[in-house]
Amino acid sequence: MSTFKPVLTEHIHQKDCHTLSFYKSIGGYTALDNVLKMNPADVIQEVKDSNLRGRGGAGFPAGVKWGFIPKDINKPKYLINNADESEPGTFKDRLLMNKAPHQMLEGMIIAAYAIGCQKSFIYIRGEFYKEFKMLEMALAEAYDGNILGQNIFGSDYNLDVVIHRGAGAYICGEETGLIESLEGKRGWPRIKPPFPAIEGYLQSPTIVNNVETLSCIPHIITRGASWFKSIGPEKGPGPRLFCISGRVNNPGVFEEAMGVSLKDLIFDRAGGIPDGKKLKAVFPGGSSSAILTAEEALDVNMDFDELVEKKTMLGSAGVIVMDETVDMVQACLNIARFYAHESCGQCTPCREGTAWLVKMLTRLVNGGGTPKDIDMIFEITDNIGGLIDFSKGSFGKTICPFGEAVAWPVRSFVEKFKDEFLAYLPQEKVVA
Amino acid sequence: MPLLKIDDKEFQVESGTTVLETAEANGIEIPHYCYHPALEVVGSCRMCLVQVEGMGKLQVSCNTFVGEAHPDRKVDGKYDMVVHTQNDLVVQERKNILEFLLLNHPLDCPVCDQAGECYLQDYSFKFGNAHSRFEEEKRVRPNEYLGSQIVINQNRCILCSRCVRFTQEISGTSELFVEARGYNSKIAVLEDKPLDNLLAGNVADICPVGALLSTDYIHKNRIWNMEQKPSVCQDCSVGCNVDVFSQKNQIFRLTARENQDVNGYFMCDIGRYGFHRFEEIERVSQPMARNGESFDVLDWDEAIQRTADLIEQSKDKTAGIVSPFQTNESNYLLGLMMKDTLGFLPPITGDEINYPTGFRISADRSPNLMGMNDVCGKLEEDFSSIIKTRDICGLYVLDDGVDRELDDRWKEILAKMDFVIVQSYAMTELAKSAHIVLPGLAPFEREGTITNDKGRIQWLRPSLATEGDSKPDWEILMLVRNALDKETEHFAGLSEVIKKMSEQFSSYSEISLFKIGAQGIALNGKNT
């Protein structure tokens, strides 16, 4: 085991860790105080230098994203904190909001200052009522403490933060779907270009960052980019919250350095598989990542690039563990059903293809499958999400990556556990 | 300007032009559904995917903008962008998208009104697979009324969202929206806010498939049975360009014809369904003369002679009445014949309606008020006093068939007359009181020019054959004029009337049907 010491969750077990007074007692908001004396461009450079990559799923470098904000533009700029956390198997942001709301808020204010934003939003998943109340309380404390509002800490910087509760759609976690929803419209992701950094919320430059990403910011400012970069792989460094669920003895959120081995996470931190069962497969980064077989899972580190080499992704770091008792066909249908239900319905392949997959898998599960169906699943998933060809950089066929999010896991189930799918075929129809 | 290569053709295009626009303008077909030039680009149907060199995935051509590439990044050293619309990848992708669109689409083309002008049908034939690989149950949903004249066949809908964007962006009324999510998505309205705005009919026009249907046209005909003729709407002084679809001299529907200087891509429902008015009118199709309470049928020679005789007998005591519904040429010829003694039938007015993106319905609901004022010389506003001061005893009315209540002033005038000659296609109140009725042409039969309220002259072309013995209005007027004075011109055709008219009025100088063409021209030299 590494000598990693938790950064983001260091204090979450302490009493009243969510309060402003506690946060200040452990040195909270000193980063902000320093930042307000800095040039915004230097703040962006520091975050760029840290190689901090987005914790929401796509893993885009946060500092680079901030750098896309046009410099000389006479429009308001917006920072949106994406707290929609809707990826199955992911529950880290709610922990951060519950236990360290001021850490996130400080990150937000620093980010807002860096990009020249004076009005910022927290788009929080509607089901997170407790977290919503927690954030309301944190905001009230911050306004009282001159941390938000006019002339923050006596500087000439002003910032207001508004909390907006989502109405329960997975797709509103996609940044442009989120922006549409925030504007009061249907959560349909927008076609790009223009990208949100150029034309986002109300056609103005907008940055959307995840809760965990923002929570890293104060630490980068306080301890420096090189400290951050020294944690884990240089190209994707930093502390990371791993959510481990499914067939493990001790499920939960565990903070580890980037690049920790998946084996350690499952068998050490999460206490291994119950009842002495064997590991069968793992989603390494939420349900939209392609699954890894037990063999693959035991030989991989949780690093952006290494998982891409294994044709899957780190995503939201939601590790879902499946043991030998799991019926892979049923699990695959479950995943397909979830995505068919959550498809926004805008793009043809995703709207039609997800429903087709569900109909076909349901028929298969009910004993009506034919050998040709198995091959059709490959074709349908490829037509929704594009071939998994990482050498080309991007692969999608739809406006947003939802197409890939359904295609890759479903395809991986069939690819890696084909025998189980074949076993569902009526016996007389199985021809070699 | 950036150099774009699409397949093997090169185009110099303005920076910021999309690949789809360039292809469309140059006759390269890129199939598409959700893209409509008047509506915001959403890029959701994925039908217009093309391959752009240097980009990892296929791009939607509706949202792929051509720009100046960095000198080091030009393809083959000179192209700013190279696009393939025909290669294996693109051809296969079109098949994939069509397969998805057809999964739940019924194969009911034989009973679908859109068949023959359906983009799903056409693209399936051109780009799709011949067989379906879908073995599941198709989704079946009931038809629904979205408004009093628009019905949706939910099974045929491909969710391109053109209709939704139309009500948001063009009519500004936002009645339509997408309900539910994903596979369950469907076009819907709120119960208390149906799709009943005056532009509603356009959604059936812009629907690329047979989902949105006008109840006025549903199951009445097939596209291949009908003749399609370009025309101009005559229901207000905007003069929207339209196509008239007819079979066996019966109109079945009107659709908007694109004209960026007049109506864009759209028309209003007043004009769209206005043709039904003419189905119920009592038509005049033979020359007639009064005989007590009824009329005797005359032949044309006699009718013209008797008309000329009546005017001759009361020389200088006959007045002409022109109409803002008649063509420039007819109004002009009556003016020539009657010199300075001209009145006009009252124009029809309504509410002026302006829509967010510039489409409008004029308060002046007569198609040619400006033209009438332009080509008739001096028109008497106070006609009653002219009658008195000049001792007028006869009227030659170029009637327009409009169902007007004649006010007391008009009734008084008519009662004073020794004779009234009415040139009309309909048995109007005026025609009923006439001594001689000369049958002219109905709005969809006549040809001529009309001038809209922005000073744009447009060519009104005949959509239907003339009925009975009716003659073009300009020809009747010419014949009467010739009968009155053998020295006057005999015009061999409409163009000769236009030539004479253009010589007389400087704003109409050098006007010809050829120059007016399908899109019209602005009289002030500027496109309006």
Domain CATH for A211: 3.40.50.11540
B111 touching chain A per CB within 8 A: no
The Cα-based distances of B363 to B268, B348, B355 in angstroms read 13, 9, 13
Domain count, chain B: 3
**Beta carbons within 8 Å of B415's beta carbon, 6+ residues apart:** none
Q: Tens of pLDDT along B310-353?
A: 999 987 899 999 999 999 999 999 999 987 789 999 899 999 99
Cα–Cα distance for residue pair A9/A5, rounded to 1 Å: 9
Q: Which tokens hold the place of A355?
A: 């429903």
Residue B237 lies in a domain: no
Interface test with B, best of A348, A376, A384 (most B CBs within 10 A): A348
The mean pLDDT value for A109-134 works out to 97
**Beta carbons within 8 Å of B168's beta carbon, 6+ residues apart:** B174
Nearest to A163 by CA among A195, A128, A189: A128
Min Cα–Cα distance to chain A from B173, Å? 16
B183 touching chain A per CB within 8 A: yes
Q: What is the pLDDT of residue B408?
A: 87
- Same domain, residue pair B500 and B354: yes
Residue A3 lies in a domain: no
Q: Given an 8 Å threshold on Cβ–Cβ distance, is A399 in contact with B44? A: yes
Q: Chain B partners of A349 at a C-beta cutoff of 8 Å?
A: 46, 96-97, 100
Residue B113 lies in a domain: no
- B435: domain CATH number is 3.40.50.740
Q: Tens of pLDDT along A156-169?
A: 999 999 999 999 89
Question: How many Cα atoms are found within 13 Å in the side-chain-facing hemisphere of A83?
Answer: 34
- Same domain, residue pair B461 and B328: yes
Minimal Cα distance from A363: which residue of B? B136
Residue A12 lies in a domain: no
- Same domain, residue pair B153 and B90: no
pLDDT category at A388 given cuts 50, 70, 90 is low
B178 touching chain A per CB within 8 A: yes
| Predicted TM-score of the model (pTM) | 0.94
Handedness of CA B208, B210, B214, B217 (dihedral sign): positive
Cα–Cα distance for residue pair A90/B470, rounded to 1 Å: 80
Instruction: Give the lowest-confidence range in B11-20, B44-53, B82-91, B380-389.
Output: B380-389
DSSP string, B2-65: -EEEETTEEEE--TT-BHHHHHHHTT-----SS--TTS-----S-TTEEEETT-SS-EEGGG-B
Over chain B, what is the mean pLDDT? 94
Owning domain of residue B64: 3-96
- Same domain, residue pair A301 and A222: no
Min Cα–Cα distance to chain A from B62, Å? 10
- Residue where a domain stops, chosen among A174, A197, A229: A229
- Say how many CB pairs under 8 Å bridge A and B: 100
Cα–Cα distance for residue pair B160/B24, rounded to 1 Å: 19
Q: What is the dihedral of CA B191, A168, A400, B211, to 10 degrees?
A: -20
Q: Given an 8 Å threshold on Cβ–Cβ distance, is B181 in contact with A359? A: no
The mean pLDDT value for B471-492 works out to 96
Nearest to B55 by CA among B98, B99, B19: B19
Q: Tens of pLDDT along B1-49?
A: 999 999 999 999 999 999 999 999 999 999 999 999 999 999 999 999 9
Partner residues linked to A226 by β-bridges: none
Closest in A348, A386, A395 to B100, CB measured: A348
* Whether the Cβ atoms of residue B481 and residue B427 lie closer than 8 Å to each other: no
Amino acid at A246: G
Interface test with B, best of A203, A343, A347, A361 (most B CBs within 10 A): A347
Residue A9 lies in a domain: no
pLDDT at A1 over 70: no
**Beta carbons within 8 Å of B198's beta carbon, 6+ residues apart:** B171, B268, B269, B270, B353, B361
- Same domain, residue pair B62 and B166: no
Sheet containing B241-247: order of strands: B227-232, B241-247, B250-256
- Same domain, residue pair A297 and A422: no
pLDDT at B378 over 90: no
Owning domain of residue A313: 239-323
Closest in A186, A348, A359 to B45, CB measured: A348
Residue A329 — φ and ψ, nearest 5°? -70, -45
Q: What is the pLDDT of residue A10?
A: 95
Amino acid at B461: R
Q: Which tokens hold the place of B443?
A: 């709005």
The stretches of A366-401 forming alpha helices (DSSP H) are 371-385
* Whether the Cβ atoms of residue A131 and residue A166 lie closer than 8 Å to each other: no
Minimal Cα distance from A170: which residue of B? B181
Q: Which tokens hold the place of A251?
A: 């499920």
Cα–Cα distance for residue pair B244/B226, rounded to 1 Å: 9
Q: Given an 8 Å threshold on Cβ–Cβ distance, is A392 in contact with B65? A: no
Residue A147 — φ and ψ, nearest 5°? -95, -25
Nearest to A97 by CA among A224, A9, A198: A9
- Same domain, residue pair A62 and A185: yes
pLDDT at A2 over 70: no
Put residue A57 in one of left, alpha, beta given phi > 0 → left and psi -120 to 50 → alpha: left
Cα–Cα distance for residue pair A137/A52, rounded to 1 Å: 28
- A365: domain CATH number is 1.20.1440.230
DSSP string, B471-516: --HHHHHHHHHHHH-TTS---SSHHHHHHHHHHH-GGGTT--HHHH
Q: Chain A partners of B47 at a C-beta cutoff of 8 Å?
A: 348
pLDDT at B266 over 50: yes
Interface confidence, given as ipTM, is: 0.93
- Same domain, residue pair A311 and A399: no
Share of chain A above pLDDT 70, in %: 96
Cα–Cα distance for residue pair A80/A183, rounded to 1 Å: 12
Residue A8 lies in a domain: no
Query: Which element (helix H / strand E) includes A79?
Result: strand A78-83
Q: Which tokens hold the place of B233?
A: 């709407």
- Same domain, residue pair B310 and B183: no
pLDDT at B376 over 60: yes
Residue B453 lies in a domain: yes
Domain count, chain A: 3
- Same domain, residue pair B421 and B328: yes
- Residue where a domain stops, chosen among B96, B125, B154: B96
Over chain A, what is the mean pLDDT? 94
Q: What is the pLDDT of residue B169?
A: 96
**Beta carbons within 8 Å of A227's beta carbon, 6+ residues apart:** none
- A243: domain CATH number is 3.10.20.600
B181 touching chain A per CB within 8 A: yes
* Whether the Cβ atoms of residue A317 and residue A341 lie closer than 8 Å to each other: no
Q: Do you know the residue count of chain A?
A: 432
- Residue where a domain stops, chosen among A229, A249, A274: A229
Nearest to B503 by CA among B485, B517, B489, B482: B489
Q: Given an 8 Å threshold on Cβ–Cβ distance, is A341 in contact with B182? A: yes
Q: What is the pLDDT of residue A428?
A: 67
- Residue where a domain stops, chosen among B96, B115, B149: B96
Cα–Cα distance for residue pair A6/A92, rounded to 1 Å: 14
- Same domain, residue pair A73 and A200: yes
pLDDT at A390 over 60: no
Q: Chain A partners of B101 at a C-beta cutoff of 8 Å?
A: 348, 352
Nearest to A121 by CA among A158, A86, A81: A81
Q: What is the dihedral of CA B24, B28, B29, B34, to 10 degrees?
A: -30
Query: Residue B66 carries which DSSP code?
Result: -
Min Cα–Cα distance to chain B from A233, Å? 27
Q: Tens of pLDDT along A330-377?
A: 999 999 999 999 999 999 999 999 999 999 999 999 999 999 999 999
Residue B127 lies in a domain: no
Q: Tens of pLDDT along A167-180?
A: 989 999 999 999 99
- Same domain, residue pair A340 and A296: no
Min Cα–Cα distance to chain A from B215, Å? 28
pLDDT at A406 over 70: yes
Min Cα–Cα distance to chain A from B504, Å? 55
User: How are beta strands B150-152 and B212-214 bridged, if at all?
Assistant: antiparallel
Interface test with B, best of A172, A344, A352, A372 (most B CBs within 10 A): A352
- Give the rounded distance of the alpha carbon of B101 from its chain centre: 32
Instruction: Give the lowest-confidence range in A124-128, A136-140, A189-193, B313-317.
Output: B313-317
Residue B107 lies in a domain: no
Residue B115 lies in a domain: no
- Same domain, residue pair B192 and B301: no
Chain A contacts in chain B segment 25-44 (CB below 8 A): 41-44
Residue A5 lies in a domain: no
B131 touching chain A per CB within 8 A: no
Residue A341 lies in a domain: yes
CA B50-B52-B57 angle, 5° bins: 75
pLDDT at B431 over 50: yes
Query: Residue B365 carries which DSSP code?
Result: -
- Same domain, residue pair B354 and B302: yes
Share of chain A above pLDDT 90, in %: 94
Q: What is the pLDDT of residue A432?
A: 53
In angstroms and rounded to an integer, the radius of gyration of the C-alpha atoms of chain B is: 28
Question: How many Cα atoms are found within 13 Å in the side-chain-facing hemisphere of B248?
Answer: 2
Q: Which residue has the tokens 């699954």?
A: A291
- Same domain, residue pair B395 and B477: yes
B169 touching chain A per CB within 8 A: no
- Same domain, residue pair A146 and A33: yes
Q: Given an 8 Å threshold on Cβ–Cβ distance, is A191 in contact with B93? A: no
Q: What is the pLDDT of residue B280?
A: 86
Closest in B57, B183, B184 to A397, CB measured: B57
Query: Which chain A residues have any C-beta within 8 angstroms of a chain B C-beta?
Result: 169, 186, 188, 191, 193, 340-356, 359-360, 363, 376, 383, 386, 392-399
Minimal Cα distance from A354: which residue of B? B183
- B89: domain CATH number is 3.10.20.740
Nearest to A159 by CA among A150, A168, A171: A150
- Same domain, residue pair B357 and B296: yes
- Residue where a domain stops, chosen among A283, A307, A323: A323
Q: Tens of pLDDT along A285-301?
A: 999 999 999 999 999 99
Q: Within chain B, what is the greatest distance between any pair of CA atoms?
A: 92
Residue A131 lies in a domain: yes
pLDDT category at B380 given cuts 50, 70, 90 is confident
The Cα-based distances of B337 to A167, B315, B490 in angstroms read 74, 11, 13
The Cα-based distances of A358 to A19, A406, B136 in angstroms read 46, 11, 10
* Whether the Cβ atoms of residue B209 and residue B120 lie closer than 8 Å to each other: yes
Q: What is the pLDDT of residue B410?
A: 85
Q: What is the pLDDT of residue A431?
A: 57
Q: Given an 8 Å threshold on Cβ–Cβ distance, is A351 in contact with B182? A: yes
- Same domain, residue pair A168 and A189: yes
Residue B394 lies in a domain: yes
Cα–Cα distance for residue pair A346/A336, rounded to 1 Å: 17
Q: Which tokens hold the place of A266?
A: 């499952």
Sheet containing B456-460: order of strands: B448-451, B456-460, B521-522
- Residue where a domain stops, chosen among B77, B96, B115: B96
* Whether the Cβ atoms of residue B193 and residue B175 lie closer than 8 Å to each other: yes
- Same domain, residue pair A81 and A119: yes
- Same domain, residue pair A223 and A288: no
Residue B250 lies in a domain: no
pLDDT at B405 over 90: no
Residue A14 lies in a domain: no
Q: Which tokens hold the place of B445?
A: 């039969």
Q: Chain B partners of A398 at a C-beta cutoff of 8 Å?
A: 46
Q: Tens of pLDDT along B279-318?
A: 888 999 999 999 999 999 999 999 999 999 999 998 789 9
Q: What is the pLDDT of residue B330?
A: 97
- Same domain, residue pair A313 and A339: no
The stretches of A148-237 forming alpha helices (DSSP H) are 175-182, 211-223, 225-229
- Same domain, residue pair A203 and A67: yes
Q: Tens of pLDDT along B194-241?
A: 999 999 999 999 999 999 999 999 999 999 999 999 999 999 999 999
